[in-house]
Amino acid sequence: MSILDRFRRDRGTHGSPYLAPAERPAVRARIAREEEEILRGAGNDPETARRVAGERAARRSVIRPEIAKRIDDAATAALEQANRDGAGMGAYRRAVKEECARAGVSEADFYRAEPGLLAMAWPSLHERLGDEEPVFDLDAEEAHERAEFRRQMELHGLADPQDGAAAASTVRPPVADGPGLDLDDVREAFGDDVEVVTIDPAQLMPAVEALRNYDLADNAVESYRRNLAEGRGSDDALSAVLDAQEPGSRALAEHAVALYLDAAGSGADPDDARHTAVAEAAAAATPRISSEHADQIRAALAEEPVGEPDVVDAVEPMTVAQARDIVVRAEELTQHLYTCSLGEEHCPTCSENILDADGFWDHQVGDARARLADYSLDDILAGNFTAADLEDAVPERDPEPGSWIARNLTANEQGDPFRSEAATAREADHDLRGLMTEAEARDTILRAERLRGHLDTCTATAEECATCSEYDPSRTDFWEVEVAAATSRLAGQDPDAVILVDTDRDEVVVVNPRQVAAEAADRIVGEPDVNDADWRTNPPAPSPVPERDPEPGSWIARNLAPADNADVGPVVDGERVYLEDVQARLARLADGPVTEESLAQVGLDASELHSLEYRQLPAAVQEFLSAERARVYEEELRAHEAERRDTADSLTAEQAQRILDQAAEIDAHTSGCQISVQNCPTCSEQEHDDAAPFWDRVAAAQDRLAGLTPDQITAQAAAENAADPAVVGQAVERDAEPGRGARAGQPVPAEAASDVDSVLGRIDEVLAAPEPPPLGDAVRECDRSLAEAENAVNRAQTVNEDDARAERCARWNSDDACAEAADCDRDCDGGERA
């Protein structure tokens, strides 16, 4: 920084870009307050926010805020433009330098106030300075970068060494526009066997392939620069780049790196050298059409000047009436967006227009306003146009006799020009009726009836209701084309007839009338992937340049052969052909009942019959399908019943009762719960599919305990517990104090265990009897056996209790006898002393 710059910064006066010393405290306080609020809102603690805000305010209170903002805005705009052009950070540096010079501010002061911008514009310098205050000469820093880059080139043997005077006098030459390639260099890079085509600016280039080649070249140059920055040698860096490429893109990568080294070695800025090398390499690797076809295009352009391609393709084909409709709709939607009180979340019109998924605001509105640029908005809304503009329909040229278009696209019967996307409603109706299946036509009729009901009952305006706006008869061809075609397709049929269609089929796609005319045409010459997936629903716009017959041996003739006349015609509906073939096979069935063997004889399977309309099948086939469905249902029902019986047999009485108790608790909770299903874990768990197995077990538990009284259920549970060794081994004992009892682990006496074994043996004998007794006798026998088992358990408990009581009584009697003997001895001893 010069002495004059430092004086201007420290002693700012009125009209100076620097703040005066008296002005800085107020500006610093305001900036600190604003920055502290921002930092606190971002989640920083008050102390950290206050400290960081003070540091930022101290840096930003040197240059006047409006001057700093003007410099930053100009530099940001230059950087955005450089990014769109594929250039680097050099444009940002130049913009900062120019704006600082224009405002009379030192670059160092600007970067000192914004260290983040310094790190972005001068990353190498920022890493070298670290946290130090940036006081430097940016012109010297730029010269230092060029000298360092030259030294690296010389170090890796990519440039000839220079003496000090030559290096100091090195001036970066301007980068020339255009590829400027040498054919010998191209052949050397790609091989001698490659076909080299001289590129003319008027020739066409496939955009998708050019962009792909540009990305490959850009990635290769970036990888090479990154490898050099990591300290690798030039050969190693280039080898690493080529190893990372696909076999088909290695030549392109090597060519891009070579062009980059040539441009950088000549003294160009590294970012500019990268942009130039990538553009040249991508342009050289992208194939063009033949020069003969380019001559044909030039001749056509000379006959009919069309101006800029983007203006012709996007704006000119739009008529004044079409542009006015778009502008009027945009104004109506704008008024709705400003006045709607529902909000984006609740209004479908606001949500659809804010998202702008169909590009209405980004493309159609801009093109319409460009088409009507000579008229004011009031004239557009009022329809005040000149007579010449109202008759500006885009004419279609009659194809020349014998041309490629005339041979592949025939004219209609009235002698009008060949059909394009702008087909009439009558032609579209005819073509659409021929392509519609019966199911598609019926779906269209049902949808039209539902829409009519909505339009008749909807109380909202067209601007407020998305459905009314989309299906307004004045704005869509749904009613005039699709509904008319569906009505013609179903002429003479019962409109209320039910068609059973397999629910697993894909959703029916209604054919677009524009697609009908486009499918009758051959592929359009130009982009290689123009006829990909998006072509059916979004066909390309017609080109104003007439197509010529490709020259024999040219690129078009080799890669895009024209279709012969046999391919021209309506699109074949593969599904309808398949259904007609199935019906023809069914017609060959022999008379009599239909079986799987008879279907196999005609090459059909039962699963293929579900895709047909049920009412159109023969009566014998309908009976076969009904019987087949009934058989499958019965099998599934029997399997489910068997599974439930097995589950019921595997449950004990106690387990079944526990399941039923749990089900009753859940049912009581769900019937009386006042919380929503989403917020209640119990209710939401029962709504989930994972709860189904539990309720299947509930049904099995009900089958297990069906016909049993509560006493019988208790008796069965007791018998099952008695049969379990872990339960039989438990007994009851009493504490030392009478009237208080507790569980103990005393074993059951042998006689009680033998009684239980005998009872269980009798139960086994009853169950194993070959001739089961009547149900009533069996139930009574089981009840008696269970009662005896319960009595045996009670007796065992009583025996234990009696033994314990007898033991306590004997102990108490012994204690009483000992006490009486002691009292007697004491009395006797006292008498003798007396």
The predicted pLDDT at position 747 comes to 53
Q: How far apart are CA 808 and CA 708, in angstroms?
A: 43
The predicted pLDDT at position 373 comes to 81
Residue with the two structure tokens 């009395």: 827
Q: How far apart are CA 256 and CA 258, in angstroms?
A: 5
More confident residue, 537 or 228: 228
Tokens of 229: 């920055």
The pLDDT tens digits for 464-499 are 777 777 677 665 567 777 888 788 777 766 544 434
Q: Residue 832, exposed/middle/buried by CB under 10 A (0-12, 13-18, 19+)? A: exposed
Phi, psi of 520 (to 5 degrees): -80, -10
Q: How far apart are CA 824 and CA 388, in angstroms?
A: 148
More confident residue, 743 or 27: 27
**One-letter-per-residue 3-state SS of 497-566:** CCCCCCCCCCCCCCCCHHHHHHHCCCCCCCCCCCCCHHHCCCCCCCCCCCCCCCCCCCHHHHHCCCCCHH
Helix (H) or strand (E) run with residue 731 in it = strand 731-734
Tokens of 187: 């052949």
pLDDT above 60: residue 294:
no
DSSP string for 56-69 = HHHHHTSB-HHHHH
The pLDDT tens digits for 406-430 are 766 654 433 444 344 444 444 555 5
The total number of residues shown for the chain amounts to 834
Indicate the range of 287-301, 368-382, 557-571, 790-804 predicted with least confidence: 557-571
Q: If pLDDT is split at 50, 70 and 90, which confidence band does 157 have? A: low
The predicted pLDDT at position 629 comes to 76
Indicate the range of 258-262, 308-312, 400-404 predicted with least confidence: 308-312
Residue with the two structure tokens 């996307």: 421
Return the closest-CA partner of residue 352 out of 479, 463, 509. Answer: 463
Q: pTM for this structure?
A: 0.23
pLDDT above 50: residue 732:
no
Indicate the range of 214-223, 544-553, 570-579, 685-694 predicted with least confidence: 570-579
Average pLDDT, the chain: 69
Q: Report, as an integer, the average pLDDT of 552-566.
A: 61
Q: Which amino acid is at 159?
A: A
Q: If pLDDT is split at 50, 70 and 90, which confidence band does 142 have? A: low
User: SS3 for 708?
Assistant: coil
Q: How far apart are CA 270 and CA 146, in angstroms?
A: 9
Percent of the chain exceeding pLDDT 70 equals 57
The predicted pLDDT at position 518 comes to 43
DSSP secondary structure letter of residue 606? G
Q: If pLDDT is split at 50, 70 and 90, which confidence band does 443 have? A: confident
The predicted pLDDT at position 758 comes to 77
pLDDT above 80: residue 262:
yes
CB under 8 Å to 487, separation ≥6 — which residues?
441, 445
The predicted pLDDT at position 210 comes to 72
pLDDT above 70: residue 544:
no
Return the closest-CA partner of residue 408 out of 530, 548, 565. Answer: 565
Q: If pLDDT is split at 50, 70 and 90, which confidence band does 2 have? A: very low
The pLDDT tens digits for 733-790 are 433 434 433 344 445 555 556 677 777 777 777 777 666 656 777 778 888 888 888 8
Is the separation of the CB atoms in 455 and 471 below 8 Å? yes
Is the separation of the CB atoms in 204 and 292 below 8 Å? no
Q: How far apart are CA 324 and CA 396, in angstroms?
A: 22
Angle in degrees, CA 311, 312, 315, rounded to 5 = 65
The predicted pLDDT at position 439 comes to 75
Q: How far apart are CA 562 and CA 549, in angstroms?
A: 9
Dihedral of CA 400/405/406/409: which sign? negative
The pLDDT tens digits for 586-633 are 777 767 677 777 777 777 766 666 656 555 667 777 777 777 777 877
| Angle at which helices 234-243 and 250-265 cross, to 10° | 150
Q: Residue 191, exposed/middle/buried by CB under 10 A (0-12, 13-18, 19+)? A: exposed
Phi, psi of 534 (to 5 degrees): -75, -10
DSSP string for 12-70 = --TT-SBPPTTTHHHHHHHHHHHHHHHHHHTT--HHHHHHHHHHHHHHHTSB-HHHHHH
DSSP string for 154-178 = HHTTSS----HHHHHT--PPPPPSS
The predicted pLDDT at position 376 comes to 84
The predicted pLDDT at position 657 comes to 85
